[in-house]
Structure 1
């Protein structure tokens, strides 16, 4: 009987871990309706898209940069586990990492682009700034009033193009 009880407890714990319990109350972006920003940069490299599911939220960003943005990687927080999507771009430049705290989300992205993404800066709803990362080439752009839910673009050895996806903030 004790063995059966242990098996039930283990299976119950596995079930709860697999489906996950609701995450703690915090501001996040609702992924049920996602709006894309304009596409910045050029047409080089291969396309990519990383968007949170309705039960995930963005938990951080990793950027490699020097004179340009060499690579970007978005990380997600889920109900059962946290993970980072694939890195898009090359391994040049210096690696910078940015994690979002409870109740925090990326609310604005500023950058510079020409035929590639020259610079990216991420600003949160709490006013924290990640960047600027990259150089001064290209023309400036801004993606304001968002609740970052994912990214897309094109990449080869560098980040060739960038686009943000916004959900609605669950404040």
Structure 2
């Protein structure tokens, strides 16, 4: 699949990260660590051979852990939230209208900015950004919705 990178939202601290989307067919779940801000994020994907790949944690170990899973044929269409020098809050929306989050809090009115990444006709397949002890900035990788293979086909050993 061909992926396009979005703009990053947040600060310039931490080290750059990029999810490895080699041989990835579908994003299947997202885990977020959070408290007053977003501490870290991690994804799991189904690969083109039908196996599962768990990604790296991007950010630190602190905060409560919450996760969500995507159903067959479901994909992320929007990531939104707030940021200052780091990502302070996130929520996610799918093509089926399900919404997950908010994760983190918007505690500093006037000192943070809202952002929304919702590329028309695209599916969000993974993340890019900067992180250290927290999630400093976040962007997404997107792909054309038509390129996503339904999970049920991969689990049955068929490719589209």
Work out whether the TM-score is over 0.5: yes
Residue 120 of structure 2 corresponds to residue 151 of structure 1? no
Task: Give the match for residue 139 of structure 1.
Answer: 113
Uncovered stretches (5+) of structure 2, i.e. residues with no partner: 149-160
How far the C-alpha of 1:52 sits from its partner, in A, is: 2.2
Task: Give the match for residue 96 of structure 1.
Answer: 66
Uncovered stretches (5+) of structure 1, i.e. residues with no partner: 1-30
Task: Give the match for residue 85 of structure 1.
Answer: 55
Partners in 2 of 1:68 and 1:49 — Cα distance?
21
Residue number among 68, 71, 75 corresponding to 2:44 in the alignment: 75
Partners in 1 of 2:68 and 2:114 — Cα distance?
22
Q: Is the 8 Å Cα contact of residues 116 and 159 (structure 1) preserved in structure 2?
A: yes
Task: Give the match for residue 19 of structure 1.
Answer: none
Closer, same or farther in 2 for the Cα pair 1:69/1:55, shift >3 Å?
closer
Between structures 1 and 2, the one with greater helix share: 1
1:2-38 per-residue CA deviation (whole Å, 9 max, x = no partner) reads xxxxxxxxxxxxxxxxxxxxxxxxxxxxx2x212111
Residue number among 139, 143, 148 corresponding to 1:167 in the alignment: 143
